[in-house]
Structures are given as structure tokens and as C-alpha cells.
């Protein structure tokens, strides 16, 4: 009976309904649905189109190159929160917010209801595995505890500080001196800083020399594979699952390239872990090494997965942990420094105060309060991670009254939060480091600000464990460069953010380095660990 009814319906459609009729009906249905969506939305909210959701609006602003500023302006019109929906069948929906109270609710008050979630983990599974940057629940807590214990130890702080100084003095400064001698030679500052950060983070995480800043700025296979794997993983966030998942299944296109790139990264990491294991068995201890891998391998972990009290951390755990550490630290500090130097080039008054701060501190980066404030202010305007999100496990209501359904995402827009007049005042778009200083003493007073309105380093239980490391690296590099060189931005460039999970300058930043006549030398290269420990 059912088959006969279906057959009759098909015959009716074939005989009496033309393709043009279906097209008109679909068009009318689309328009009616669009009108209904527009009438049901609040003033200022972006249009959620039938079937394709917010994608046409996003695509238009991506093409215009102003998607971050559009998002900030839209949130301002919508009182800080609006709903979004992706393409039908893509499984992406939720809310976008810049309200500090909402962010605090997600990152702290109702933390357990908002993990990274399977949506995020699946897209980074090949590269990060179960590493801290991709973990939730007990696995994340175990890795967080291990990371905090090792990275906040005086020994690691001294080691990482000495490593930064060695790279700055032995690699970065000589390179810039060579460039400064070539009077008209311009270089991409972002590329140079990314190379420096990769060398530094590999030394801190694995205790190996990556060699990205070696003479001639050579191509480094591991660095190239890591960058490629990161970029290809990110494409999954804006490619519909109906596209990238079949490609992964068939092993073609970008998914095949991702497999090849992540294989190269993991082979390097596996080889490094195996070599360190062999060294440990041969020598008996790794007391002479202070890198993160060696310290974890030598430590006594708690007796639960992913560790065993007798056997220690597994090789897989160590590999994934260190790869996550490199991902978290490679791009963020270098990109932050690129924007900082760009902003500084347009503000000679701020640069003069930074130079005075460097000279007064005598090389102790922990005492450079104005430089600390200038870097913090730069990251307020250009946060290294402009957007982040969490996924709800259960239905919830945000403090501003916005409902969130289970499996929906709450996207907190860090870029917009730093440009909110309600939070930062009418001069929110101005680069003004003084807003972070104590009016009377001139000391850095940023710790008094709520971390939920300045989430550059995340906040709550997932507050970045590398925050101290990042500030030390950025301040050391900035002080060394500015003490010796004037950084001149080549005129005529279009400087704007690139759409990515990290806020790269889209086309890089071409600069020239001009040697200063009077140098502000850094007389005490390694800050005391106690001083470093008090930075955040």
C-alpha cells in the first residue's frame, strides 16, 4: 500500500508539477523563512538565513577583511550578546558574547558545564592527541597539575630565562645587527619573531635546538611541518563536516596533507622522547637537563592515568603534552610582539617612556613596569587569540538572560571585549599603557583588573600556565631590540588582522632596523627566579 502511494505521488509530480514550480515554491519558502527570522531577532543582530544561517554575513565581511571589527560593532549594538547558527547539518550553533559576566560564568562559575567539547577536540585530534590543549576532565586536570608544578618551579624559570637570553644575544641581536647594516633592507618582523619563538619554545619544551634563526634563516622541516599541521587543522573549523569528514575517510586533499604533516611532527616528537628515555636509562638521571620534557620524565607522577606511579608518564603523554606546549607558545607571544612594535612605531611618546623604563631597570625585566603595561595594552587591542569558545554539556542561562542549549557553543569574543566602551571607557581604541599603571607609584597595577574582562590569557581554572613564561619572553625580546634599534615600519603597507585562531598580521609586517646611537644595555641578563615568580 505504501509503495503504491509513493508511486502515485511521483506520477503526480512528474505529470503536473514543473521544475519552475518547485523553484518558485522554494524561493517563496526561503523568503518567508528569512522574513520570519528577521522579525523574530532583536535590533542589531546579524541575519540568520534559512539553511545557511550566519554564513553569508560572515563570508561577506571575511571578503571585506573587516570581520573582527564587524563582530565588535555588532556586539556593541546587541548589548554584548547575539545568537548564531551555521549551515544546516553542520552542527554549529550557540551565542557570541563580549559580556564579562557571561565569560566569568562560563570560565569559572559554571566551569564544569563548559568543557572544550568534542567539536574542538575532533578538529585537533591528529595534531594534539590527548595533550593539555585538547583535553577535558580528569586528563586535563592531571596535565594541568603537572604543568603548573614544573613551569612554576624556580629551576625551570631560571632555565627558561637563560634560554631566552641566550637566543636573544646569540641569534636574534646578531641577525638584527646584520640587517641594520644593510641600510635599505626590509624584513618581515612577524616571520623573524615566529622563528625566534619556535626556537625558544622547542628549547623550553624538548631541550632541542630547532635552528630557525640560524644563519640565512634556513627552512626547518619540523617547523614547516608543525606550521602546516596547525593551518590544516584550523581549516576544519570553517569547512563543513560534510566536506572534510569524507575527505578524511578517503584520505584525499587537505586531509591527506594533514596526515602527512602531523606524521612528521609526531615522528620528531617521538624520536626526541625516545632519545631522552635512552639517555635516562644510560645515565640514570636527567639532573643536568631542565627542559619540560626532561623534568616530566624525571618526576614522580600521581598513580592514575595517563601516568603510573612506578613507570612514570607514558611516552604518548609526554609527546602530546610537549606538542600542545609548542602550539600554545609558538604563535601567541610572537604575534603579540609584532602588533606591539607596530603600535609603538606610531607613538614616539610611548616608545620614549619604554626606553626610559628599560634604562632605569638596568636589565631586570621584572622591574620594567611600563614595558609590562605597554605589552598588556597592546594585547588588549590585538589579543593573540581573538576568539575562543566552550561547549555546553547541559541547558543553561547566562547572567544576561541568554539561554544556551546543551551542545551549543558559547563563543567569547576577546577582540571585541578589549574594544568595549562600557568596559574600558570612551578612549577604548587608544593605545594608552598608563591605564595599567598605579597613578601614584607608576607600578604595574593590572592585577587589580577583573581577569574576566581581560581574557587574553584565558581565566578561571584554565588560566594559561605559560603566562609568566610569555611575559618574560616578550619583555626580554622587546627590551633587547628597543635598547639597540629603532624599528621603522615600511610605509604603504596594509596592516590588518588575518582570519585565524591566532591574530596574525595578514601580510606580515615589513620593517627596517636602525641602530641607535646610544644603546640602553641590559646589564643583568638573567632575572631572579623570585622576581619572575611575582609577575602575575
Enumerate the known binding-site residues for heme.
Answer: 464
Residue pointed to by grid coordinates 610582539: 337
Grid cell listed for 165: 637570553
Residue 175 CA to its chain's centroid (Å): 27
Please answer whether residues 290 and 284 qualify as being in contact, where contact means their C-beta atoms are separated by less than 8 angstroms: no
Do the bridges between strand 81-85 and strand 93-97 make them parallel or antiparallel, or are there none, so unpaired? antiparallel
Please answer whether residues 369 and 437 qualify as being in contact, where contact means their C-beta atoms are separated by less than 8 angstroms: yes
Query: What is d(CA 295, CA 188) in angstroms, rounded to the nearest whole number?
Result: 35
Grid cell listed for 530: 623570585
Grid cell listed for 112: 564544569
Report the largest interatomic distance among the alpha carbons of the chain, rounded to a whole angstrom: 94
Please answer whether residues 199 and 212 qualify as being in contact, where contact means their C-beta atoms are separated by less than 8 angstroms: yes
Query: What is d(CA 450, CA 240) in angstroms, rounded to the nearest whole number?
Result: 36
Residue pointed to by grid coordinates 611575582: 534
Please answer whether residues 222 and 210 qualify as being in contact, where contact means their C-beta atoms are separated by less than 8 angstroms: yes
H or E segment and range at residue 208:
none
Please answer whether residues 507 and 186 qualify as being in contact, where contact means their C-beta atoms are separated by less than 8 angstroms: no
Q: Which residues are annotated as a binding site?
A: 464
Amino acid at each position: 500500500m505504501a509503495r503504491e502511494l509513493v508511486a502515485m505521488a511521483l506520477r503526480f509530480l512528474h505529470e503536473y508539477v514543473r521544475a519552475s514550480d518547485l523553484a518558485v515554491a522554494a524561493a517563496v519558502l526561503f523568503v518567508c523563512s528569512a522574513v520570519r527570522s528577521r522579525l523574530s531577532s532583536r535590533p542589531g543582530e546579524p541575519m540568520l538565513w534559512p539553511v545557511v544561517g550566519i554564513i553569508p554575513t560572515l563570508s561577506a565581511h571575511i571578503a571585506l577583511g573587516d570581520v573582527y571589527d564587524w563582530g565588535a560593532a555588532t556586539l556593541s549594538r546587541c548589548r554584548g550578546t547575539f545568537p548564531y547558527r551555521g549551515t544546516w547539518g553542520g552542527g554549529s550553533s550557540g551565542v557570541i558574547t563580549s559580556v564579562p559576566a557571561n565569560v566569568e560564568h562560563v570560565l569559572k562559575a559554571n566551569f564544569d558545564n563548559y568543557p572544550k567539547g568534542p567539536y574542538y577536540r575532533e578538529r585537533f585530534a591528529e595534531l594534539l592527541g590527548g595533550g593539555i590543549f585538547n583535553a577535558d576532565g580528569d586528563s586535563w586536570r592531571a596535565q594541568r597539575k603537572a604543568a603548573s608544578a614544573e613551569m612554576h618551579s624556580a629551576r625551570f624559570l631560571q632555565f627558561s630565562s637563560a634560554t631566552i637570553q641566550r637566543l636573544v644575544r646569540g641569534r636574534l641581536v646578531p641577525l638584527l645587527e646584520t640587517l641594520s647594516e644593510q641600510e635599505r633592507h626590509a624584513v618581515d618582523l612577524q616571520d623573524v619573531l615566529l622563528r625566534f619563538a619556535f626556537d625558544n619554545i622547542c628549547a623550553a619544551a624538548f631541550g632541542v635546538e630547532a635552528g630557525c634563526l640560524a644563519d640565512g634563516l634556513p627552512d626547518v622541516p619540523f617547523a614547516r611541518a608543525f606550521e602546516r599541521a596547525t593551518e590544516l587543522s584550523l581549516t576544519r573549523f570553517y569547512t563543513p563536516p560534510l566536506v572534510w569528514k569524507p575527505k578524511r575517510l578517503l584520505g584525499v586533499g587537505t586531509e591527506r596533507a594533514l596526515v602527512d604533516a602531523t606524521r612528521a611532527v609526531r615522528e620528531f616528537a617521538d624520536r626526541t622522547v625516545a632519545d631522552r628515555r635512552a639517555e635516562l636509562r644510560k645515565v640514570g638521571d636527567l639532573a643536568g637537563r631542565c627542559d619540560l620534557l626532561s623534568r616530566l620524565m624525571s618526576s614522580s607522577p600521581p598513580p592514575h592515568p595517563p601516568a603510573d606511579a612506578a613507570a612514570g608518564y607514558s611516552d604518548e603523554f609526554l609527546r602530546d603534552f610537549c606538542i600542545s606546549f609548542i602550539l600554545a607558545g609558538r604563535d601567541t607571544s610572537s604575534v603579540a610582539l609584532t602588533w606591539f612594535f607596530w603600535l609603538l612605531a606610531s607613538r614616539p611618546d610611548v616608545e620614549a617612556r619604554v626606553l626610559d623604563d628599560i634604562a632605569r631597570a638596568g636589565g631586570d625585566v621584572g622591574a620594567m613596569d611600563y614595558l609590562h603595561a605597554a605589552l598588556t595594552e597592546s594585547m588588549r587591542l590585538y589579543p593573540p587569540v581573538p576568539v575562543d569558545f566552550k561547549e555546553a554539556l547541559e541547558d543553561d542561562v547566562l547572567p544576561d538572560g541568554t539561554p544556551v542549549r546543551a551542545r551549543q557553543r558559547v563563543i567569547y569574543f576577546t577582540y571585541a571585549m578589549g574594544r568595549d566602551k562600557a568596559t574600558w571607557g570612551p578612549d577604548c581604541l587608544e593605545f594608552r599603557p598608563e591605564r595599567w599603571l598605579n597613578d601614584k607609584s607608576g607600578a604595574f597595577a593590572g592585577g587589580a583588573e577583573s581577569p574576566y574582562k581581560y581574557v587574553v590569557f584565558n581565566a578561571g581554572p584554565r588560566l594559561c600556565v605559560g603566562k609568566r613564561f610569555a611575559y618574560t619572553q616578550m619583555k626580554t625580546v622587546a627590551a633587547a631590540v628597543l635598547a639597540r634599534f629603532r624599528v621603522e615600519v615600511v610605509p604603504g603597507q596594509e596592516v590588518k588582522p588575518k582570519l585565524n585562531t591566532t591574530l596574525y598580521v595578514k601580510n606580515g609586517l615589513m620593517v627596517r632596523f636602525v641602530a641607535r646611537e646610544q644603546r640602553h644595555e641590559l646589564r643583568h641578563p638573567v632575572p631572579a627566579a623570585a622576581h619572575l615568580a611575582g609577575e602575575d
